[in-house]
Amino acid sequence: MPASILIVDDQESLRHFVERALTDEGYSVRTAGDGAKAVQEFQSEIPDLALLDLRLPDTTGIDLLARFKAEVPELPVIMMTAFGEIETAVEAMKLGAFDFLTKPVNLEQVKLIVEKALESVRMWRELEHHRRQGRDQFSRDFVRGSSPKIQQVYDTIDKVAGSDSTTVLITGESGTGKQIIANLIHAQSPRGKKPFLEVNCAAIPRELLESELFGHERGAFTDARTQKQGLLELADGGTLFLDEVGELPLNLQVKLLTVLESMTFRRVGGTRDIKVDVRIVSATNQDLEQMVANGGFREDLYYRLMVVPIRMPSLRERREDVVLLASHFIHDFSKTFHKRFQRLSEEAKRKLLEYPWPGNIRELRNVCERTVLLEDGDIVEADQLRLGNPDAAARSGGLLQSLQRIMVEGIVDPEGVPFEKLIADIERGLIIRAAETAGWNQSRTAEILGIKRDKLRYRMKIHDLHESATIEA
């Protein structure tokens, strides 16, 4: 069903102009020329988004904004204003408007802001839906277990969730469920009905990360054609999750520290302090304390972020949970793929328990998904579980740790660096990951890696790679 939009403006020509453009984009559009008609349309069918003029014959856009938001707090509202009324439009944003447009409106700008607003509310509703499903189904399924170490994590979550402003730093290896824990903290807190937004600080180019977090004013830089709200503003009242926080550049660490100390910030290119109420939850698989010692992370920010530290144990540290987790994943994927699998054989359980799981719960989940999808039967047998070589996987984890310590933390182990071995393992691992993604199609694998097929075949021959290959060290 197309998103519904209500346009309220007393200029008939502008209403039809914008209506036609948005209808062509596939939206369902209704219009109103005054406040009374707007309220009537709103009450007959609540729209997914409203475009409101600031000045109307019988009321103001501010009054309509307040009325609409009182009934539907998550409704995205975009204000339309003449150039001389920008100050009023900014005031409207303080009252909950998503953004504003200046007249004469630019259709491309209208389409862009409408799309952003609808995407923002879609994300919010999706998270709200997950929250209503309950914490067991939403979060604990991924990190469930009965081991003392994971129970200790749950106990900490229960305590910290009650305090809705305390910062939390979640540490642990990749794949241990740090993001899920952040979700769980938010869902159980008084902020649970407000937005939960996240950003992976390692996934966004550094030159774009500042704008993503803090937003920017129109004209702040070459491509800043419109004003943009950053994640800090969009998460107001809720939680902002900073994944891979150790990748945050030093200049942005200073700005984040200011937010934590005063709950104010300025958009890129802005001169006005913006007040927000946001809980910051961070996560990292790096040793931030060592990064502080090496000058790669600010000490004052480090202590601000880790008021409450939560360390996620690796799957190797909670082996008693491996079979429980695997059984749960097998059951879930059997329902998803309409398979008959009911349980794991004793030999399959032993095989799972003997494997070191360098990829932690994420790897276990992927193994279970692949097994259910590709195999058949009532019982999962050991030979149906495609795992890596246990010794090789364990060594691989150590090599990757060495690489992280060298590249990120600037530490070289006293016993030296197995340079050629490390590089060969990285190359082998990259080829395997790409090949698995491509279903072992060599042309597609070469395309993913950005190399010619002949070179790929040559490298695969060197590493003795075939479809049954595993990541070794």
Predicted confidence at residue 83, as pLDDT, reads 63
pLDDT in tens, 443-470: 878 877 888 887 888 788 877 787 655 4
- The answer to which of 48-62, 255-269, 418-432 has the lowest mean pLDDT is 418-432
pLDDT in tens, 86-139: 777 777 887 888 888 888 889 999 999 999 888 887 777 665 555 455 444 445
* Calpha distance 135→142 (Å, rounded): 11
The set of residues, in sequence order, having a beta carbon less than 8 Å from that of 228 and lying 6+ positions away, is 211, 215, 216, 267
- Burial class, 94, CB count within 10 angstroms (exposed 0-12 / middle 13-18 / buried 19+): exposed
Q: Is residue 142 very low, low, confident or very high in pLDDT (cuts 50, 70, 90)?
A: low
For residue 400, the SS3 value is: helix
Strand partners, 200: 243
Predicted confidence at residue 136, as pLDDT, reads 44
In one letter, which amino acid is 307?
V
CATH code, 394-462: 1.10.10.60
Q: Which H or E element spans position 211?
A: helix 206-214
Does domain 133-311 correspond to CATH entry 3.40.50.300?
yes
Buried b (16+ CB within 10 A) or exposed e, 216-250: bbeebeeebebbbbbbbbbbbebbbbbbbbbbbee
pLDDT in tens, 315-367: 989 888 899 899 988 988 898 889 999 999 999 999 999 888 888 888 898 89
Predicted confidence at residue 175, as pLDDT, reads 85
Count other Cβ atoms within 10 Å, centred on residue 134: 11
Pairing status of strand 77-81 against strand 49-53 = parallel
Predicted confidence at residue 391, as pLDDT, reads 52
Predicted confidence at residue 133, as pLDDT, reads 52
* Calpha distance 110→434 (Å, rounded): 39
pLDDT for residue 384 is more than 60: yes
Q: Is residue 257 very low, low, confident or very high in pLDDT (cuts 50, 70, 90)?
A: very high
Q: Which H or E element spans position 28?
A: strand 28-32
Count other Cβ atoms within 10 Å, centred on residue 271: 7
Count other Cβ atoms within 10 Å, centred on residue 314: 20
pLDDT for residue 432 is more than 90: no
* Calpha distance 208→268 (Å, rounded): 11
Q: Which H or E element spans position 142?
A: helix 141-143
Q: Is residue 396 very low, low, confident or very high in pLDDT (cuts 50, 70, 90)?
A: very low
**% of the chain residues with pLDDT over 90:** 32
Tokens standing for 110?
């209208």
In one letter, which amino acid is 72?
V
**% of the chain residues with pLDDT over 70:** 86
**pTM for this one?**
0.57
Count other Cβ atoms within 10 Å, centred on residue 203: 10
For residue 410, the SS3 value is: coil
| CA proximity to 369, closest of 385, 352, 388, 346 | 385
Buried b (16+ CB within 10 A) or exposed e, 381-403: eeebbebbeeebbbbbbebbebe
pLDDT in tens, 2-15: 899 999 999 999 99
Q: Would you tell me the crossing angle of helices 419-437 and 390-407 to the nearest 10 degrees?
A: 110
* Calpha distance 381→80 (Å, rounded): 63
* CATH code matching the domain that covers 4-122, chosen among 3.10.310.30, 1.20.1260.10, 3.40.50.2300, 2.60.40.10: 3.40.50.2300
Strand partners, 286: none
Q: Residues in the chain, how many?
A: 473
Predicted confidence at residue 164, as pLDDT, reads 79
| CA proximity to 61, closest of 29, 93, 84, 83 | 93
In one letter, which amino acid is 226?
T
- What is the mean pLDDT of the segment spanning 208-223? 83
Buried b (16+ CB within 10 A) or exposed e, 35-54: beebbebbeeeebbbbbbbb
| CA proximity to 386, closest of 399, 374, 398, 400 | 374
* Domain range list for the chain: 4-122, 133-311, 315-387, 394-462
| CA proximity to 232, closest of 276, 186, 166, 281 | 276
- Mean pLDDT score of the chain: 83
Annotation: CATH topology of 315-387: Helicase, Ruva Protein; domain 3 (1.10.8)
2 alpha-carbon distance from chain centroid: 25
Q: Is residue 395 very low, low, confident or very high in pLDDT (cuts 50, 70, 90)?
A: very low
Predicted confidence at residue 453, as pLDDT, reads 81
Domains 4-122 and 315-387 share a fold: no
CB 36 within 8 A of CB 58: yes
Tokens standing for 259?
């937010």
